[in-house]
Amino acid sequence: MYCPQCGSLIIPEDSRFCTKCGCSLENVRQPYIQSTPAPDHQSAYNSKPRVSGTKVLAVAVAAILILTAVGGYYGFKIITDDGIYSETTGEIYDYEYYATNALSDGTIVLSEGVHEFENVEKNSILFTLNDDISSKYGYYEWHLSDPDDTAYTIKSELGGYKFTENNGTTIEKEEPVLYWGSYGPSSSVVSVMCYENEGDTGGTFYSGYLMIDGTLERDYAWTYDSVNYGLSIDFEYSEYKAYRDSDVNYRGTWNHDNMTDFATDNTGTVSSICEQLTDLYLSEYGSNADTEGQDFADFILAFVQCCYEYPPFNDYINADQYIYGKGNSEYYAYPMETIFYGARDCEDTSLLAATIYCELGYSTGICLLPSHATVAVALSSYVEPYYDRLNYEILKDTVYHKTYYIGETTFDRAIALGIMTKMSNTEWYSDHLDDYGCGIYLVTSCPIPRVCTRGSSMRGTL
């Protein structure tokens, strides 16, 4: 792809700005999930800012790690005030923000301003080098990246596409200021390499971390039993960020025994989903409809199945790596993280579903199967739905005298609780419930202690 303004070759192809002239490429190519706050660019956030008093202390540690990584990526040492880590908070455009290092010690000054984007003037956040530093230089490489952003695809030299980490956008310019017109609730690493003249090497590097807090909205629409449904939720960015930055060394497949600890949410966001799902169900099926049994459980499962996508994956990268980058081959996500991105793989959507079920009073857990995870829900009675007995089975297990039915959360359409696809042409998942590490892990917030169990399954017969 070539820049429509200056004609420069764009590498990688999914860059959001031309590194030569700064022209926006947003309308030229769109990534799968868009969350990066791109520099010198206008973008409409559909949520009204809401000032939050919540402070996320965990981001301070995360910022140090992020800044260290950025310094290593560029091969330059990050300059701070006498080597002392600094941080500050403030308010800009009615958003509360948290900043570190160069963005808090006066090296790079945050301010409100107006900048022209494609002949339209827009309110912008300005990152401006202070006069003492900018007076020494005449050429700058500004870089803005979003640690929350997904990976994206670039064209391989061998043909086809492969995944790589999204490291943000670099803009080269003679002006000691970066204009950000797409500001909104997010995290960003802002850095600048300063040179006396264009073409020089060995410049001076400054960097800082910025978190802007505010309200994010998520809207959902899905169809169940030929009826269209919809609900909306909102949450503070800092609420998501607190979960994102916690348990950073506690996320992989070796923590099976602790996996259900991630089925939790104290922000009230999952509670809002539960309340709206209950209201929608009662509105459709009557105020006396049973909200403890199989039918309501199927309704809940359909919401998760239809409203949360499975991320792209191929030979280069799996679904978790697509969301978090190449350094994460497996990643257990809190429900708030799944809600933030709207996309997750099997264990993450199962953890979200388990949290919803548990909030609504169901005994629930996660059923681990070979290379797969599902949600498990206890039901006192169960009517076997119609299913293709050649390719599906009714998968269930018994724990402490309760029967748990398996819910496949990665279907992109509504499939009833208990119905499980065949593992392969010759194998059923029920054949592997006794395998090491497989079985149901009960969610600790439910009244029964978590345990990995081995039980029985009933396979559909012709």
pLDDT value of position 54: 30
Mean pLDDT on 221-226 = 96
Q: Kindly give the residue spans of alpha helices, DSSP state H, lying in 119-251.
A: 131-134, 237-244
Name the average pLDDT for the chain. Answer: 79
Share of the chain above pLDDT 90, in %: 57
Domain boundaries, the chain: 58-213, 216-442
For residue 67, the Cα-to-chain-centroid distance in whole angstroms is 20
What lies within 8 Å, CB to CB, of 226 at 6+ separation is: none
Report the range of poorest mean pLDDT among 57-66, 189-198, 296-305, 362-371: 57-66
Helix extents (H) in 171-293: 237-244, 269-285
CB-based burial label for 405 (10 Å; 0-12, 13-18, 19+)? buried
pLDDT tens per residue, range 343-402: 888 999 999 999 999 999 999 999 999 989 999 999 999 999 999 999 999 999 999 899
State pTM to two decimals. 0.78
Residue 36 has pLDDT above 50, yes or no: no
Best-predicted range by mean pLDDT (62-76, 158-172, 438-452): 158-172
Helix (H, G, I), strand (E, B) or coil at 432: helix
Residue 446 pLDDT class (50, 70, 90 cuts): low
Q: Which of 147-151, 197-201, 237-241, 401-405 has the lowest mean pLDDT?
A: 147-151
- The answer to whether 31 and 150 have CB atoms below 8 angstroms apart is yes
Collect all residues with Cβ–Cβ distance below 8 Å to 114 and sequence separation of at least 6: 121, 122, 123, 124
**What integer pLDDT is reported at residue 437 of this predicted model?**
87
- Give 24 or 290, the one with higher predicted confidence: 290
Which comes out higher in pLDDT, residue 126 or 85? 126
Position 327 scores a pLDDT of 63
Average pLDDT estimate for 188-202: 93
Distance, CA of 432 to CA of 415 (rounded, Å): 22
Tell me: pLDDT of 24 over 90: no
DSSP letter at 241?
A: H
More confident of the two residues 400 and 169: 400
Q: Say what the pLDDT of residue 204 is.
A: 94
State pLDDT tens for residues 386-444.
999 999 999 999 998 999 999 999 988 999 999 999 999 999 999 999 888 899 999 97
Give me the percent of the chain exceeding a pLDDT of 70. Answer: 74
Tell me the DSSP string of 321-390: HHHH-TT-SS----HHHHHHHSB--HHHHHHHHHHHHHHTT--EEEEEETTEEEEEEE-S---PPP--TT
Q: Which of the four pLDDT bands, split at 50, 70 and 90, describes residue 235?
A: very high
Residue 309 scores a pLDDT above 50: yes
Average pLDDT (251-270) is 86
